[in-house]
Amino acid sequence: MKTKPLIEQHIHGCFGIDFNKASVNDMLHVSQMLSKASVGGFFPTIVTDSIENTQRAINVIKTAAKQVEKGCAKILGIHLEGIFLNKEKKGIHNPVFFLEPTIDNYRLIEDDFIKIVTLAPELNVDLIGYLNSKGVKVQAGHCVGSDLSGCSGVTHLFNAMSGINHREPSTALSALVNDDIYTEIIADGVHVSDDALKLVFKAKPKDKILLVSDCLPCAYSGKKVFVFAGEKIYYDEVNNRATSAAGTLAGSTSLLIDIVKRLLRADLFDAQYIENPYNYHNIDIDGTIDWDEMFDKKIIK
């Protein structure tokens, strides 16, 4: 099977590099390494942090994007997953840095290279409309609200959001029944069960599913303990899980190529899933991936 290169729109780091803390050279190294993992382009995802640190990360990523060499994975923009989230569904994010989702607060870190913003829509005052007017994708995540008006997608479906209840509205239920909403899904076998994946793949139009990794800096690094979002995280390599000391999942330890291979082995994959982020972001990247060859190819030699 041949497809276009992968587009990764939710990734916090890999190969030992954390995008909140990375240097320009770090970002260029990831760009080079991800190209070996079938990724044609990615949206570095910034976790909740101070305004100062967020501004620094944005500037580093923007600078690196201009220096990416031919043949490496393109840096397509920034996914801001943080600051405007609901404390009830904070996950691993540090609520000390949460702000009310207002235009004034967004302007503290606003940049034209931010292409996706994850926020809790139930907290919105006026930010969703503003982001839409700027052409920024708004995704509901780390939230409990069921009204997805103005949102184009949801962030890591089921994780850090109000789940399905047959008598009450919820974020996950609204995402599943709304055919216009794109849904990120972490299909690493840890964040969502295979039965739940099958439900999503049946309920959602195939062209609205976004495979993402939510990958952490520990992936392909050999690190078993590291600090992420200001908290010490422990990587259990046997169970492929990275959690806080309290057991909160901190993100995935798989790259997107690992997830696609897993879905192919489980007969849960559809080539449409690789096309979807191209359509969602209206982008195009040259090249093809031969998955028969990729099954035997090692990412790091």
Quick one: pLDDT at residue 8?
Answer: 98
Quick one: pLDDT at residue 165?
Answer: 87
List the catalytic residue out of 18, 188, 214, 258: 214
The CATH code of the domain at 2-294 is 3.20.20.140
What CA–CA distance (Å, rounded) separates 284 from 205?
A: 22
What CA–CA distance (Å, rounded) separates 248 from 271?
A: 32
- Reading across the β-sheet that carries 231-236, which strands appear in turn? 225-228, 231-236, 241-244
pLDDT mean by block of 10 residues, the chain; 301 residues: 96 98 98 97 98 98 98 98 97 97 97 98 93 98 97 98 93 97 98 96 97 98 96 95 95 97 96 98 95 79 50
The H or E element containing residue 52 is helix 51-65
Question: Is 49 known to be catalytic?
Answer: no
SS3 (DSSP) at 237: coil
Q: Residue ranges of the domains in the chain?
A: 2-294
Count of Cβ atoms closer than 10 Å to residue 263 Cβ? 20
Nearest to 250 by CA among 275, 213, 220, 196: 213
